[in-house]
């Protein structure tokens, strides 16, 4: 439904936009917490990383619908490992 609601005149457009924005904002909040605890790599762009994770989650959800055995949790975990601070 989110893909269908891209057009501004679609009845679910506002709902879909809010849902996507909400996920990104929640991710930003959690990333800031992790950064402040020293758990993320120095210089990480919080906004960009939140968008990347949100896009990855949405994409992995779609892939999982076609391949139910796809280890989506591992793929997301591997990405999180890339942004974590060393040590």
Residue boundaries of the structural domains of the chain: 4-83
Return d(Cα 3, Cα 12) in angstroms, integer: 10
Q: Give the chain's mean pLDDT.
A: 90
Listed in order, strand segments (DSSP E) in the chain are none
Does 54 score more than 90 pLDDT? yes
Q: What is the mean pLDDT of residues 69-78?
A: 94
Hunting for tokens 């601070």 — which residue is that? 85
Yes or no: say if 30 and 24 are a contact pair by the CB < 8 Å rule.
no
Give percent above pLDDT 90 in the chain.
69
Hunting for tokens 């269908």 — which residue is that? 4
40 vs 12, higher pLDDT: 40
């Amino acid at each position: 439904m989110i893909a269908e609601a891209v057009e501004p005149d679609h009845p679910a457009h506002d709902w879909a936009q809010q849902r996507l924005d909400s996920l990104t904002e929640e991710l930003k909040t959690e990333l800031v917490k992790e950064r402040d605890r020293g758990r993320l790599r120095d210089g990480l762009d919080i906004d960009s990383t939140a968008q990347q994770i949100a896009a990855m989650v949405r994409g992995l959800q779609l892939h999982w619908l076609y391949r139910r055995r796809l280890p989506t949790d591992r793929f997301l975990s591997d990405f999180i490992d890339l942004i974590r601070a060393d040590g």
